[in-house]
Structure 1
Amino acid sequence: VPDVFLVKDHPPGRRRVYKLWEEGQPPHVVFEVTSLKTRKADVLKLRKFREIGVAEVFLYDPTGDYLKPPLHGYRLIDGEYVTIEPNAEGHLSSVELHAELGLEDDGSLAIHDADSGERWLTAEEAAEAEIQRLRQRLRELGQ
């Protein structure tokens, strides 16, 4: 079971478990938060992801204990995973997400829009931005 995954063009809904044999579609993108403790299992998962046809897999080692660099990406081409090489900015391109993945100065994972380069907001940042937008709207209505 992947840590995080995305299945595109699939009906949303709350599921405790995503059962591939019932859903009929493998994830398009998988994220594994990996560590020294889980590295062997993560290598085995890569094989399983390849077998079921996951298009892209990203491994992220937030502590930098063993992955150098701490973010690795793989794209399925002709049935085999090929390493996604970093671009000039050091980001990994995700065709499936139409985004670039990179690391912030503090080592945290950041996702940027492939066209604009804008960083995707975290849930907390998006909530704060919405609060600010609503506050501004209230000020406008009060004038």
Structure 2
Amino acid sequence: MVMSTAVQTERKVFYPDSDGQPMADNTIQFECIVTIKGNLELLFADHPDVFVAGDLLWYPVEGNAEIRQAPDVMVAFGRPKGHRRSYKQWEEGNIPPQVVFEVWSPGDRVSQMLDKLAFYDRYGVEEYYLYYPESGEWDGWTRQEGRLTPISQMEGWRSPRLGIRFEKGKDAEVGLFYPDGRKFLSFLELGQLAEAEHQRAERLAAKLREMGIDPNQI
């Protein structure tokens, strides 16, 4: 008797790189996202095991591409830097993003934001922050006894994971500060600051040359 062997092939699950939604609904929301992500990348530039991303799809459950969320900004400690098409948690040491940020836009519905809060609560986020550009206010939640719990006072709050301080913002000025007290700057402001430093260095080099000193030898 010849026995037929049934070969089971594992169903291949496709994990899209995009949810089809725009990154931002308006210029203020976009600038807020870029400012938060960019400054967090600068804050952890010397930490190879801190991954910062913006609008990246996070899949917490292997085998189910429908369970997903794309935080405006997320930070994962214990994961290496580098480009990713999406954040598949089972390929990331089963480490969820510990900190996520969302920026409210006029197109957001309350039910939609409640769904996001429930998602972040269920899948292990430790800190969740929501910024309202029109009012400059922040809402925040931290994980206490296994659940995301509202932070009663956001002004002056310091993130346990990030060390940054929260204050009231204004439009695209998000009201965030580095651990050393420096303000989070926009991409334009950072560029202007770098240009000012470059010009200052050029003036100093010119002065040294006038004195017969080669600045490259100092």
Cα pair distance change 1:13/1:107, threshold 3 Å: closer
TM-fit CA distance, 1:80: 1.0
- Asked whether the 8 Å contact 2:177–2:184 carries over to 1, the reply is yes
Identity %: 28
Q: CA RMSD in A?
A: 2.1
1:135 corresponds in structure 2 to 199
Q: Which has the higher strand share?
A: 1
Kept in 2: contact 1:102–1:111 (CA 8 A): yes
Q: In structure 2, do the counterparts of structure 1 residues 107 and 14 end up closer, same or farther at CA, with 3 Å as the change threshold?
A: closer
Q: 1:125 to 1:40 in 2, by over 3 A?
A: same
Matched to 1:18, the amino acid is: Y
Aligned amino acid, residue 90 of structure 2:
W
What is the DSSP-based 3-state SS (H/G/I as helix, E as strand, rest coil) of the residue aligned with 1:130? helix
Q: Is 1:73 the counterpart of 2:127 in the alignment?
A: no
Cα deviation, residue 105, structure 1: 4.8
| Aligned partner of 2:101 among 31, 35, 53 | 31
2:181 counterpart residue number: 117
Structure 2 counterpart of 1:93, which letter?
A: R
Normalising by structure 1, we get a TM-score of: 0.82
User: Structure 1, residues 22-80: CA drift from partner, whole Å, max 9, x if none?
Assistant: 2221112101112454221111111111122111001112224xxxx831000011111
2: distance between equivalents of 1:106 and 1:32? 14
Once residues 123 and 6 of structure 1 are traced to their aligned partners in structure 2, the CA distance between those partners, rounded to angstroms, is 19
Determine if contact 2:137/2:169 at 8 Å carries over to the other structure. Answer: no
Give 1:109's aligned amino acid. V
Moved runs in structure 1, 4+ residues, more than 4 A? none
Q: Secondary structure at the match of 1:92?
A: coil
Partner of 2:47: none
User: 1:113, 1:120 within 8 Å by CA — same for their partners in 2?
Assistant: yes
* Helix, strand or coil at the partner of 2:175: strand
**Distance in 1 of aligned mates of 2:193 and 2:172:** 23
Structure 1, gaps ≥5 residues long: none
Is the 1:32–1:42 contact (alpha carbons within 8 Å) kept by the matching residues of 2?
no
Which residue among 107, 119, 132 is the counterpart of 1:48?
119
Q: For residues 122 and 36 of structure 1, do their structure 2 counterparts lie closer, same or farther at Cα, with a shift above 3 Å needed?
A: closer
Structure 2 letter corresponding to 1:108? E
1:9 Cα shift? 3.2
Cα separation, 2, equivalents of 1:104 and 1:51: 29
Offset from partner CA, 1:57-113 (integer Å, 9 cap, x none): 01112224xxxx8310000111111222326xx233211110112223557312113
Asked if the contact 2:131–2:137 (Cα under 8 Å) also holds between the matched residues in 1, the reply is: yes
Give 1:139's aligned amino acid. R
